[in-house]
Amino acid sequence: MSRETIYIVWRDLYMLSEIINVQTERHIQEPALDLLWNSQYSVMNVLNCMPGDIWEMLDDADSEEVRLKRPVLPSDWERPLIYTHCVRHFKYEPSDRHPDTAAFYEMLRMCLPPGPLFPNIKSLLWETSDAATLPHFRAFIGPRVTSLAVSTLQSASHLSLLPSLVTECPLLRDVSILTSKGLLGRCEAAEAVSFLVKQLTHLESLEVPCLDAAALEHVAKCPALEDLYLTDQTPLPLVEHLEVGSPTCRDITQINLTVTDVRAATEVLIRFHASPISNLHIQYPRTTSAAALQEIYKGVAAHGNHASLTCLSIAVPHAKHPDAAAADAEQIADAEQIALYTVPGTHLSPLFAFTKLTYLALAGVVGLDLEDAAAADIARARPSITSLDLAGSAFPHIPPRTTLRALLAFARFCPRLWRLCLPIDARTVPEWSQTDAEVRPAQRYLESLHVGESPVGTPLDVAAYVSGIFPKLEWVSAGR
């Protein structure tokens, strides 16, 4: 082989190795960049990729500020845009470690190149209580966004941002839009949110304060909807014609509903009649009487799917502060008021139709007034129950009338029950006769028992009685 031939062979091998190295480097580099830039919590990583003579960091006592030293040119964005294409998720996190003011985001908006900053972004979470910062989430959305969570909208100008979101994000599937308490009850707030929702055709999950009738009926027809959260739903017009037996939303599995009036609960459920809901959670106002609460029970029984519902919770919202809860309790202190809000066991009978329940939590404003017979009816109707909460209220005004004998029904009819919350009058411990001992059930699944503020006679005797029925019991708790 001549020297010239050897040279040609080595030259070709060298060129081939260079091609392989470049392809290998690119093969490694692209996934690495995707991993490094996939999720971002600040825009500073992007700005740090720009030439160093553009920005100047000014240290302040409380936070950092950014000053623009010279005009931003299109060429300054060439390197950052390589990386912004890799961003798939952005979560805004207020911080004093990097610039985080409305003035900063306004300056950034004026400097951005045409088109989305993150053209491939899929999810954006922007939560802030700063009214001036909130609108700037618009700078970070793109046409591929499928998940968007924005809170807290506080003004009409904030609501004005909603109508055009679908145009900018046509693929939205998971949407969460929350407003401040000051906007709740205002017609324009419900109208703006409903206008947005009526344009969404790919919904899988939706969380908004309130919807009007047209928007709710649109949501009920979304074929892929799975989860619905309405945090402050107001009453709606009644549905005049309902095709009984025809499910509306085929895939929905969960509804979380907080209502301002008990009528709203039934009016929402009517629009999802016979849909395969497995999880239903309803919170109602603290001013709800026992009679009004019974209407919720009837509405759930009439329009819930008896074959699919496995988790049901109907309760008052938890007070965020102990002082607020105590103030609520003081408002319902006289006997007449207590009688108005006390929920008797007979009110619960409409819910007996749901025999597939594995989780049930019921609470009254002042508590549930149950006797042993009512407790037995509840147990008999729940053969599949695993978690049952009948604790009633955080500030019960009525002493429990269920006795230790009520536990026998849960041991006998609820073989899979592992958690039970039930106030009990344990001042008297039943005595076992020989006949009783032969038929006494021993349920071996229950691990946790919460008895609220239950009166107790002799603790050791009570413990012996309870452990005889539930030998695997590990945790017993009391108190509010």
Please tell me the distance from the alpha carbon of residue 345 to that of residue 352, in angstroms, as a whole number: 12
Contact 117, 139 (CB under 8 A): yes
Sequence-distant (6+) residues with CB within 8 A of 38 are 86, 87, 88, 89
When pLDDT is cut at 50, 70 and 90, the band that residue 166 belongs to is: very high
pLDDT, one tens digit per residue, over 236-285 is 887 655 554 444 567 899 999 999 999 999 999 999 987 899 999 999 99
Whole-number pLDDT of residue 94: 80
Residue of 149, 116, 151, 110 lying closest to 134 (CA atoms): 151
pLDDT above 90 for 55: no
DSSP β-ladder status, 55-59 and 64-68: antiparallel
Average pLDDT over residues 465-474: 94
Q: Is the pLDDT of residue 125 over 60?
A: yes
Q: What does the pLDDT read at residue 13?
A: 47
* Residue count of the chain: 480
Quick: pLDDT tens for 353-385.
999 999 999 998 888 999 999 999 999 999 999
Tokens, residue 232: 């402050």
Mean pLDDT of all residues belonging to the chain:
85
Query: Looking at the predicted structure, is the pLDDT value of residue 326 above 80?
Result: no
What's residue 11's pLDDT?
52
Structure tokens that stand for 80 in this block: 């950052």
- The encoded tokens of residue 210 equal 């309130």
Confidence band (pLDDT; 50, 70, 90) for 435? very low
- Determine what percent of the chain is predicted with pLDDT higher than 90: 60
Pairing mode, strands 359-362 and 387-389: parallel
* Selection from 54, 168, 34 nearest residue 108 by Cα: 54
- Rounded to two decimals, the pTM is 0.86
The pLDDT confidence band at residue 209, using thresholds 50, 70 and 90, is: very high
* Residue 160 CA, distance from chain mean position: 25
First to last CA, the chain: 95
* Alpha-carbon 37 to chain mean position: 28
Locate 254 and state its tokens. 């969960």
Structure tokens at 301: 């029984």
What are the angstrom distances between the C-alpha of 260 and each of 1, 112, 232, 407? 93, 43, 6, 36
pLDDT at position 6: 53
